[in-house]
């Protein structure tokens, strides 16, 4: 994995007044294959602030999970990452998660200052240790009382008695709640939750989302990676819409759900059951063959010849940003 030297990432005015915690600047991730390159994340810039819950939404395969793994140095050896992701702390020097190296990430960042709720809990749990032992060891390493294991289990909606089971004895939903408890055990200032409600029924989905929301209300920050727009609408402060490896829209959640600016954001909302319940037409491009222009243009009802060139991510004047040659005017329909 290779990287470049740090610069300063731009702040997002939508969360003005909160201290920047994570500043991502021009982050790109490519995977080298024998006969192609996968452009998984392209020129991504975001700022996450203390007390903020940022939801990153988009169709499967758009690069959301790769973003999470890039921030924590969990990419495979055929990955090349450029750009910067600077993690701030009031008592220590800022650290660039891209350039600091695996040793620093493992010793001081991953599972400490930044927690991860993985998308696939079954592969993240040690199969020969019970949930209680996994949780107790995590608490001990971080100087916390092992007796907190039961409390953490209750916090995530898991029966404490289920901690005495091995991972293969847990249902998918139980395993999901266990990895959430493990991620919360060190009390990280930033939590990256990658599809944390997978396998949960509706009451537990709401329970988990409310738990994430409460973390932000106490000053921590959460990046919620999800394809569930209802989840984002329930708890997010800001929403970044990702399409074909790029952020195409980023604005306050209430404004986005009321009046999306990018045609793709509008199409995602129209697919919701409580709206038009109309699927987004067509298919996203392959990440090995991204077009030179707007990747959404073949599916977009507002496309023109101008869309053959890549639109820049530009501010709209109210703290929001959008990458579109023909953004949707306020109050207009697509």
pLDDT (average), residues 35-54: 97
Closest by CA to 172, choosing from 188, 138, 195, is 195
CA atoms lying within 13 Å on the CB side of residue 332: 10
Say if residues 27 and 84 touch (Cβ distance below 8 Å). Answer: yes
Do 41 and 134 touch, CB atoms closer than 8 A? Answer: no
pLDDT tens-digit profile of 274-310? 999 999 999 999 999 999 999 999 999 999 999 999 9
Q: Is this structure's pTM higher than 0.85?
A: yes
Task: Confirm if 206 and 230 have CB atoms less than 8 A apart.
Answer: no
Does residue 25 register a pLDDT over 70?
yes
Q: What is the pLDDT of residues 60-96, one digit of tens each?
A: 999 999 999 999 999 999 999 999 999 998 888 999 9
Give Cα 292 to chain centroid, integer Å. Answer: 26
Average pLDDT on 196-202 reads 91
Give the pairing type, strands 321-322 and 114-117.
unpaired
What three-state secondary structure class fits 193?
strand
Instruction: Tell me how far apart the alpha carbons of residues 87 and 125 are, in angstroms, rounded to a whole number.
Output: 27
* Of residues 20 and 123, more confidently modeled: 20
Q: 3-class DSSP state for residue 299?
A: helix
Please report, for the chain, the start and end positions of each structural domain, with discontinuous segments joined by +.
13-50+66-103+236-322
Residue 267 confidence (pLDDT): 97
Report the distance separating Cα 330 and Cα 147, nearest Å.
Answer: 53
d(CA 172, CA 57): 23
Please provide the CATH number assigned to the domain covering 13-50+66-103+236-322: 3.40.50.300
Distance of alpha carbon 27 from alpha carbon 83, whole angstroms? 4
């Amino acid at each position: 994995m290779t990287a470049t030297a740090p610069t300063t990432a731009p702040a997002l005015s939508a969360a003005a007044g909160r201290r920047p915690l994570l500043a991502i600047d021009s982050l790109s991730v490519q995977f080298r294959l024998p006969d192609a390159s996968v452009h998984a994340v392209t020129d991504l810039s975001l700022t996450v602030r203390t007390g903020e819950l940022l939801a990153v939404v988009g169709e499967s395969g758009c690069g959301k999970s790769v973003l999470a793994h890039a921030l924590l140095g969990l990419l495979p050896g055929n990955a090349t990452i450029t750009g910067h992701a600077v993690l701030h702390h009031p008592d220590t020097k800022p650290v660039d998660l891209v350039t600091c190296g695996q040793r620093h990430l493992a010793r001081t960042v991953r599972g400490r200052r930044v927690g991860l709720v993985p998308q696939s809990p079954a592969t993240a749990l040690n199969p020969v240790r019970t949930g209680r032992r996994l949780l107790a060891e995590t608490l001990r390493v971080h100087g916390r009382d092992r007796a907190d294991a039961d409390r953490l289990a209750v916090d995530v909606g898991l029966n404490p008695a289920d901690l005495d089971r091995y991972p293969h004895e847990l249902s998918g939903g139980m395993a999901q709640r266990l990895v959430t408890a493990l991620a919360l055990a060190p009390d990280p200032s930033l939590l990256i939750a990658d599809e944390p409600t997978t396998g949960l029924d509706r009451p537990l989905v709401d329970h988990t989302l409310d738990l994430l929301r409460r973390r932000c209300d106490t000053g921590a920050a959460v990046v919620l990676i999800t394809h569930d727009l209802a989840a984002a609408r329930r708890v997010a402060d800001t929403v970044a819409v990702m399409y074909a490896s790029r952020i195409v829209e980023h604005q306050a959640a209430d404004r986005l759900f009321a009046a999306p600016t990018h045609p793709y954001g509008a199409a995602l909302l129209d697919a919701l059951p409580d709206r038009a319940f109309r699927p987004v037409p067509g298919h996203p491009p392959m990440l090995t063959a991204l077009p030179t222009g707007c990747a959404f243009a073949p599916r977009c009802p507002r496309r023109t010849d101008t869309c053959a060139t890549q639109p820049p991510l530009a501010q709209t004047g109210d703290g929001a940003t959008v990458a579109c040659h023909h953004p949707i005017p306020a109050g207009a329909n697509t």
